[in-house]
Amino acid sequence: MDPYITLLTGLGLVILGIAWLPMLLRDLPLSLPIFCVLLGLGLFITPGVGSDPDFIIQSGFIERITELVVIIALLGAGLKLDRPVGWKRWRTTWLLLAVTMPLSIAGIALIGVWTLGLSLPAAILLGAVLAPTDPVLASDIQVGPPRSGGEDEVRFSLTSEAGLNDGLAFPFTHLALAMAAASAAGSVAPGWWTVEWFLDAVLWKLAVGVAVGWAVGRFLGFLVFRLPDQARIADTREGLAALGITLVSYGVTELVHGYGFLAVFVAATTLRHTERSHDYNEALHTFSEQIEKLLMMVVLVLFGGAIAGGLLSSLTWNAALAGLAFLFVIRPVAGMIGLAGTRLPWSERTVIGLFGIRGIGSFYYLAYAVNHTELAEQHLLWSVTGFVVAVSILVHGISVTPVMNRLEARWRRREPRSVGNGADPDGVSIRSPMYELENDGGGKGEDRQPEKERVLDD
């Protein structure tokens, strides 16, 4: 059997799956990622296919392909959010980022040290790898395309969190790398390396990521929507521009040493709100979603092959139990703590906490780390990460459809009581950003009226 022909056949199946499988699996408790992992597992255990993918040996390639799929997913996440950015409108998101993610990293690190015997740098790295909600694999529980409606608080929170926390996990990754370097030099005690990490990895890179992302988004928004008709990119109707927007915003930010992940999402939201009601937003989102699905399926087929090749060979019973605790104890508890100050119903807080899906972003962070420092525990880290991602794909993929169907049935039952004010009896926005928009603090009512009209137009 010719491995090249086999590879082409497998790639063809993956591409056909992009168009066909989502429709086939739409009403089933099964997801496209599960199919892809099983396809890779079956493909690479077949005799004569060729050597199995090795995420450890091929970590350089894994870093680059996962980097590409994540930044494209971040663009799509930013483009499809209808709700304007605001402190109150995005309150749930800010709480998830400021409270839930640090608590998740701390909880994972503590279990890593106490249960798995990891060094402190490796435990912090594991926390940074597993804490962020994945923007790729969480797409089944995210909001729909631009202007599609149904932007309930659960879907909105998980979409916006996934868009931002991939960039915000980077400071913790750099902290682990800086601590590992200090440990190799003979000390992990706070010193100049701590100050250098804070100034560079926290202050500078975060600020540059936000600033460059906003500036690029504004500039591209002008090119896309504001130029005269004969020169406006939007008039071309070419969704291919989405890839250019992604690469420009990411590349420019990385060139000035900022967080490109953060910049891509900020640029996408800025571009989206330059002309929120324009049809071209949908064309950009559709193209980015198609590219994202193609790359996602390739990565997950390789992941299935890596499992067949022994990616989980270093997994112990303690490590497996720790991985389950990461998914089903630490993240949900941290989510409930982070959302304790909101008026969201307990059912919605629980879903937000449980569906912090781990995935391709975790592979990127771990590959990035092992490519930038020597870690004695890297085999265990890869096994634990692979196990957590595999369980997340399986459990979340099976449960997302029935769980969201139950929530939506509950929202429909509550809608008659919320007619006229857009809120449930507890004052929480149910399906639309309108309630948040009308009740957002700051500014006079007449100043916000044009924005409200545009939301209605959307």
Per-residue HEC secondary structure of the chain comes to CCHHHHHHHHHHHHHHHHHHHHHHHCCCCCCHHHHHHHHHHHHHCCCCCCCCCCCCCCHHHHHHHHHHHHHHHHHHHHHCCCCCCCCCCCHHHHHHHHHHHHHHHHHHHHHHHHCCCCCHHHHHHHHHHHCCCCCCHHHHHCCCCCCCCCCCHHHHHHHHHHHHHHHHCHHHHHHHHHHHHHHHCCCCCCCHHHHHHHHHHHHHHHHHHHHHHHHHHHHHHHHHHHCCHHHCHHHHCCCCHHHHHHHHHHHHHHHCCCCHHHHHHHHHHHHHCCCCCCCHHHHHHHHHHHHHHHHHHHHHHHHHHHHHCCCCCCCCHHHHHHHHHHHHHHHHHHHHHHCCCCCCCHHHHHHHHHCCCCCHHHHHHHHHHHHHCCCCCHHHHHHHHHHHHHHHHHHHHHHHHHHHHHHHHHHHHHHHHHCCCCECCCCCECCCCHHHHHCCCCCCHHHHHHHHHHHHHC
* Residues 333-348 pLDDT 10s: 999 999 987 888 888 8
Does residue 456 have a pLDDT over 80?
no
pLDDT of residue 1: 59
Distance of CA 431 to the CA centre of its chain: 22
* Percent share of the chain, pLDDT over 90: 43
Whole-angstrom Cα distance, residue 218 to residue 231? 17
CA–CA separation, 241 and 297 (whole Å): 22
pLDDT number for residue 247: 93
Of 164, 168, 171, 130, nearest to 359 by C-alpha is: 130
Q: For residue 165, what are the contacts with CB-CB under 8 A and spacing of at least 6?
A: 96, 97, 101, 131, 132, 133
Q: What is the mean pLDDT of residues 395-401?
A: 84
Given a cut of 80, is residue 413 above it in pLDDT?
Answer: no
CA distance 362 to 133: 9
> Using one digit for the tens of pLDDT, what is the confidence trace for 9-43?
877 876 787 777 777 766 666 678 888 898 888 88
pLDDT at 450 over 70: no
pLDDT of residue 342: 86
CA distances from 199 to 192, 204, 368, 393 (A): 11, 6, 21, 36
Amino acid identity at 251: G
Assign 127 a pLDDT band (cuts: 50, 70, 90): very high
Q: Are the CB atoms for 234 and 276 separated by under 8 Å?
A: no
pLDDT at 384: 96
Give pLDDT, residue 124: 95
Sign of the alpha-carbon torsion through 270, 274, 277, 282: negative
126 in Cβ contact with 385 (< 8 Å): yes
| 378 within 8 A of 401, measured Cβ to Cβ | no
The Cα 429–Cα 414 span in angstroms is 11
Q: Which fold has domain 14-410?
A: Na+/H+ antiporter like fold (1.20.1530)
pLDDT at residue number 256: 94
pLDDT at 412: 73
Q: Band the pLDDT of 130: cuts 50, 70, 90.
A: very high
All structural domains of the chain with their residue ranges: 14-410
Weakest-pLDDT range from 122-126, 320-324, 394-398, 430-434: 430-434
